[in-house]
Amino acid sequence: MHSLQSPTLRRLLSLILFSCLTLFAQASRLDSLSNLLQTSKDDSVKLAVSNQIIWMHLFQDQVKAWELIEEAKVLADRPNQEFGRVSLINVIGVYYDVIGELDSSLKYFKLALDLSREYGIEIHEEHSLNNLGLYHWNRGNLNQALEYFLASKKINEKLNGENNQLLDGVLNNIGLIYQELFLYEKALQYHKKAYEIRIKREPRPPLMASLNNLGICFKELNKVDSARFYLLKGLALREKTMDESGYFRMLSTLSSCYAMEGDTRKAIDLSAESFNRPETVPYGKLEKARDYNDLAQLYVWINNADSSLFYGKQGLEIIQSDSELIRLIPEIYLALANAYLLKHAIDSSSKYNELYLTAIENTFNKENAEMMQEMELKYETAKKDQALAESKLALAEKTRERNLIVLISIIGLLVLIIFFNNQRLKNKRLRAEVELKAAMIRIESQNQLQEQRIEISRNLHDTLGAQLTFIISAIDNLKIFDLNREKLIVKYDQLSDFTRTAIFELRDTIWAMNKEQITFEDLKGRISNFVQQAKASVPLTKFEFTFPADSPFAFQSKDGIEIFRIIQEAVNNAIKHAEASEIHIEIKEEPEKLSLCIRDNGKGFDLEAASDGHGISSMKNRAAVIGAELSWKSEPGETRIELHLNKA
């Protein structure tokens, strides 16, 4: 029997244990491993090979896998087998996860982590942390999952260096957690890093997963062209990767892109192709529930209530059968509410609409999302502190060596030594003063950013609270008054429009909160999306949009969102009240100020009579909040609203 004394041998066995399983999937490879297990006299190699053979049976034949585990335990209990023992414990944790014994799975993952730390085997500590992250993620414990993933990433970087080629898995997992928290900009940062690593390798299923994740994030950010670019790129890799599951997942995502552009028939065809995949292609509950939900929503859009109810109820049944899928339930409730409304089943529609609102409130936990970002900030800060400590330690070591040489070389020159020490102390004081000033500047910047976020958060709380209160009040009033069906449908349409507006405002506010500053490009993209939506509602109205090109100027988050709201209000006035056929939006950048002008060729309105309507008061208040000057002029044939904001 031999022990693992060589670091090189340890790393080799680690690669054997945790490299991609597809390298050993063929029967000939299994025969080779079995022969090696029988002929090798090295216990460390035999245990490593046993673990690999167990992996090959784990997801296909659990009975055989357990028999092999029992045999491997005998090897693992022998002296000097710490490395292989921890590997086997991690494998046992995965085995229990596969058969659904979750408590046992968690127990073995924690045991593997404790032993890897006790034995000082950092590569197993990294794998154990990643396994615990996956365990908690699959059960919806996003806080704990992110904490474990970040810890795993930290050890990986310590072992292999930052930006190494083995980080893609944990980067992808962190991106998926931010994705589930609707923080898509943050998720993109990690998905892009994982993609940049995977694109350098031979095409494999992980590359397909990265392309699909990028497509999902760009789709949710309303960047449909970017989403389609990555999705079509992934679909073209179907034959090279042989990843049929990844191919059908991408079809579902691409279906959502076409739905966003209004091509509902194309979207239904793609979702149906994913739904009717061959039986040989795995179709998990999560994917199936998402496809049911997509089809339920799409059939509502083409007024096919019966098909929508069929797919919606099937999807709801799957979601309610598995607590891990509960995050999908708001969308399925909304689809069912709309389908029943099409069938004029008001009571059923009202029931699912109330369930939808409750689920949305429970799903979006702002405090939870902020906790995720705080956790990542702590991780990045700890990494910087560690680097600073190592730098100081190296500096101190060099200083000691230098002092020793000086003492030996110029023992008789005491005056020169004193001068040297004084100069060194002076430099140290100057360095400390520079570091203190830099720290004070960073703290001041962080305080200003926190004040902006608190102000936006307070605005989000007040606005969303008022809107939800209005919705609840409106629903309660519908219960009190005896309205006929036609009036009820009108009321429900009004509620639907109001709810949709509330959701748009919520997304805009979250968009502002996730940015330290808002550039002209950010604002341009947001306004462009809004103008496209406006064109869809009034196709006969002509829109013109003029914007400064390549400007480096950036707004504070709160200023940017207020300017966007003023533009929204002015355009809505032109559409709803002025009956304009042309609407012009122009933003000019001058040396000392910014100028915004919204004008239309509508019928105009009486400024005094409309001061409390048409959103004039709201625009005045928003302009006052950011210290801007707002003016307006209205007459038949032209209404002009101007905003001037000083840069300083």
Tens digit of each residue's pLDDT (9 = 90 or more) over 198-234:
998 888 888 989 999 999 999 999 999 999 999 999 9
Res 265 pLDDT > 50: yes
Give me the chain's average pLDDT, please.
78
CB atoms under 10 Å from CB of 57, counted, come to: 18
Cβ–Cβ under 8 Å, residues 93 and 54: no
Residues 6+ apart with CB under 8 A from 202: none
Mean pLDDT of 326-344: 87
Res 320 pLDDT > 70: yes
286 burial (CB, 10 Å; 0-12 / 13-18 / 19+) is middle
In three-state secondary structure terms, 586 is: strand
pLDDT of residue 12: 38
Helices (H) and strands (E) in the chain, counts: 25, 7
Among the ranges given (528-532, 562-566, 599-603), the one the predictor scored with the smallest mean pLDDT: 528-532
Among the ranges given (179-188, 199-208, 392-401), the one the predictor scored with the smallest mean pLDDT: 392-401
pLDDT of residue 231: 92
pLDDT of residue 3: 38
Mean pLDDT of 109-122: 92
Q: What is the DSSP letter of 607?
A: T
Q: How confident is the model at residue 187 (pLDDT cuts 50, 70, 90)?
A: very high
Q: pLDDT of 47-70, one tens digit each? A: 888 888 888 877 678 888 898 899
**413 against 285, higher pLDDT:** 285
Res 584 pLDDT > 60: yes
The DSSP string of 297-351 is: HHHHHTT-HHHHHHHHHHHHHHHHT-GGGGGGHHHHHHHHHHHHHHTT-HHHHHH
Q: How confident is the model at residue 254 (pLDDT cuts 50, 70, 90)?
A: very high
Q: pLDDT of 609-640, one tens digit each? A: 655 555 788 888 889 988 999 998 988 889 99
pLDDT of residue 523: 81
Res 306 pLDDT > 50: yes
pLDDT of residue 166: 73
Among the ranges given (19-33, 264-278, 296-310, 354-368), the one the predictor scored with the smallest mean pLDDT: 19-33
Q: At 240, which helix (H) or strand (E)? A: helix 238-241
**144 against 599, higher pLDDT:** 599
In three-state secondary structure terms, 645 is: strand
Cα–Cα distance, 158 to 150 (Å, whole number): 12
pLDDT of residue 39: 76
Locate 580 and state its tokens. 């304009």
Mean pLDDT of 231-239: 89
pLDDT of residue 614: 58
**284 against 453, higher pLDDT:** 284
Alpha helices (runs of H) in 514-593, residue ranges in sequence order: 520-537, 557-576
pLDDT of residue 8: 37
Mean pLDDT of 515-543: 81
**247 against 419, higher pLDDT:** 247
One-letter amino acid of 441: I
